[in-house]
Amino acid sequence: MGPKFITVSSKGQVVIPSKIREELGISPGTRIAVRVEGGRVVLDPETLTARLKKIRSLRGLTAGGPSGTDLLFEERRLERERELREEGW
């Protein structure tokens, strides 16, 4: 899809074209993050589709490293050993 041009209203409002809203799953009440990147305005909708895409992009990010659960267990084990030493065991 090529670029679509929209006009900013006197109140600073813009209308996202219906085809784009449908494609991205944007419906009334959808929260949209707005930021500036390299002199451009970026709209990032917080839709279920967008959230799932973001979650999927994180899959495997820590592959090959220790699991978070293992790290927590090890941290707790070391903490318990320190507590026992302090108690004189």
From the list 55, 58, 74, the residue with the least C-alpha distance to 66 is: 74
In 4-62, which ranges are continuous DSSP H helix? 18-24, 48-58
Is 15 in the same domain as 40? yes
In this predicted model, what pLDDT tens digit does every residue of 11-63 receive, in sequence order? 999 999 999 998 888 999 988 999 999 999 999 888 777 777 778 888 777 77
In this predicted model, what pLDDT tens digit does every residue of 61-70 receive, in sequence order? 777 777 888 8
Give the chain's domain count. 2
Is 41 in the same domain as 75? no
Q: Which domain holds residue 84?
A: 62-89
Is 43 in the same domain as 73? no
Is 7 in the same domain as 47? yes
In 1-89, which ranges are continuous DSSP H helix? 18-24, 48-58, 68-86
Is 26 in the same domain as 53? yes
Is 67 in the same domain as 26? no
In this model, does residue 1 exceed pLDDT 80?
no
